[in-house]
Amino acid sequence: MSVHLVFCLRRLPTLTLPEFLSYWRDTHGPLVRERAAALHIERYEQAHSCPGWPAQPVADVRNAPEPYDGIASLWFASVQEFKAGGSTPEGRRAARELLEDERRFIDLERSPIWLAEDHRLV
């Protein structure tokens, strides 16, 4: 069963949303792509926030909490493959490099991360 890492991102308070999204897409995205094999990542997607209308009225009706600035999703063939990505020196180095870069634009303390098992229903 495939799994994916879901990382709900909030930007550092020093960045505007356009600055954050640009850095994430144009700087961090290529770093993930370059390190995907070492980390056993099969797929990587960025979901960028669409602020304002129509998202805000939908959130208001639901009394939703503060939205995320984006969501990163990284897919792995299995939990074992996820673990394998961090079990080699190359994988650990790749993970450290990505974390170092994430500190430049993500408010890590306000950005939840979790691993999910995928169950496709449609």
Q: In a 3-state reduction of DSSP, which class is residue 55?
A: helix
Confidence of residue 56 (pLDDT cuts 50, 70, 90): confident
Per residue in 19-46, pLDDT (tens digit) is 999 999 999 999 999 999 999 999 999 9
pLDDT digits (tens, 9 = 90+) for 75-118: 999 999 999 999 999 999 999 999 999 999 999 999 999 999 98
Q: Which residue from 57, 67, 30 is spatially nearest to 46, judged by alpha carbons?
A: 30
pTM listed for this prediction: 0.90
The domain spans of the chain are: 3-117
Measured distance CA(2)–CA(73) in Å, rounded: 12
CATH class of 3-117: alpha beta
Separation of alpha carbons 74 and 91, rounded Å: 15
- Between β-strands 43-48 and 70-76, what pairing exists: parallel, antiparallel or unpaired? antiparallel
